[in-house]
């Protein structure tokens, strides 16, 4: 471990946030087959209109995104989805804010999502089947709280069981309230992989769909991820 990383781990163990400039020109996110971008964010030309757009999408409830932080322009429709419709995740209890998760490489994004899809399929006793998903590619640029290498110092942030996400959610809530851009961390599902959990939508740009995958469920586990490609069109 480098001296910089050792210092980061020591500071993480004391609770002091360690930040790093994340400049990922390409990273990847897997989303459901049914997901569609909120195209209105790509069409907004006047930032002053964002407050009205968010109010309409909230359907009378308090807006879930600060209009000043909403993404706009090309790819913003995909970026905004997890900030508008969300549930509990590792770094959010699902009550106050959403998080944009992405893996540094496609294999990490796949590993992170197959775990959660497999839990759902097992809980619902699904027979062998195939599940379609979409692969998104984007760029991330921001100053993230860096907990890479801190699994031993902060095991509460890396617990693999979603039932034990509470401490990580509480910790991340404080970072979100403090205005941090997000978190960069080691993947729990893909050894050697890195992930980001982005709090500020403006940190994500150029998000676009780059392919379709099919996860193969054999009745007990997801055993393969197949890449789809178009072979015929009338």
Flag whether 45 is in a domain: yes
Contact at 8 Å (CB) between 211 and 228? yes
Angle ∠(26,32,37) on CA atoms, nearest 5: 70
Taking the C-alpha atoms of 144, 150, 154 and 158 in order, what is their torsion angle to the nearest 10 degrees?
80
Average pLDDT value for the chain? 89
Q: Could you list the residue range(s) of the whole structural domain that residue 59 is in?
A: 3-228
pLDDT band (50, 70, 90) for residue 162: very high
Flag whether 145 is in a domain: yes
Asked if pLDDT for residue 47 goes beyond 70, the answer is no
Flag whether 219 is in a domain: yes
pLDDT digits (tens, 9 = 90+) for 63-103: 578 888 888 888 989 999 999 889 999 999 999 999 999 99
**Selection from 146, 115, 137 nearest residue 18 by Cα:** 146
Residue 7 vs residue 35, higher pLDDT: 35
Tokens read off for 157: 């942030």
CA 27 to CA 194: how far, in whole Å?
10
Q: What is the SS3 assignment for 118?
A: helix
Per-residue pLDDT, 28: 98
Q: Which of 12-26, 46-60, 142-156 has the highest mean pLDDT?
A: 142-156
Flag whether 189 is in a domain: yes
Query: Does the model's pTM come out above 0.85?
Result: yes
Domain count of the fold of the chain: 1
Which stretches of 65-208 are DSSP H helices? 76-84, 106-123, 166-177
pLDDT band (50, 70, 90) for residue 3: very low
Flag whether 234 is in a domain: no
Flag whether 233 is in a domain: no
């Amino acid at each position: 471990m480098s001296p910089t990383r050792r210092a980061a781990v020591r500071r993480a163990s004391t609770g002091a946030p360690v930040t790093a400039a994340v400049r990922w020109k390409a990273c990847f996110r897997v989303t459901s087959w049914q997901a569609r971008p909120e195209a209105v964010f790509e069409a907004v030309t006047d930032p002053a209109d964002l407050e009205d757009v968010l109010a309409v999408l909230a359907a009378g409830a308090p807006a879930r995104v600060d209009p000043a932080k909403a993404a706009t322009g090309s790819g913003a429709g995909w970026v905004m989805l997890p900030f508008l419709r969300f549930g509990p995740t590792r770094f959010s209890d699902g009550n106050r804010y959403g998080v944009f998760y992405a893996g540094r490489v496609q294999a990490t994004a796949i590993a992170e999502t197959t775990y959660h899809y497999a839990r759902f399929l097992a809980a619902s006793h699904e027979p062998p089947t195939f599940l379609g998903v979409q692969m998104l590619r984007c760029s991330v640029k921001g100053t993230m709280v860096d907990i890479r290498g801190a699994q031993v110092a902060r095991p509460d942030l890396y617990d693999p069981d979603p039932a034990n996400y509470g401490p990580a959610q509480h910790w991340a809530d404080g970072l979100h309230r403090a205005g941090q851009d997000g978190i960069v961390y080691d993947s729990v599902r893909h050894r050697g992989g890195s992930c980001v959990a982005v709090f500020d939508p403006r940190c994500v740009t150029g998000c676009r769909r780059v392919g379709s995958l099919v996860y193969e469920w054999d009745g007990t586990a997801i055993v393969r991820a197949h890449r789809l490609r178009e072979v015929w069109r009338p």
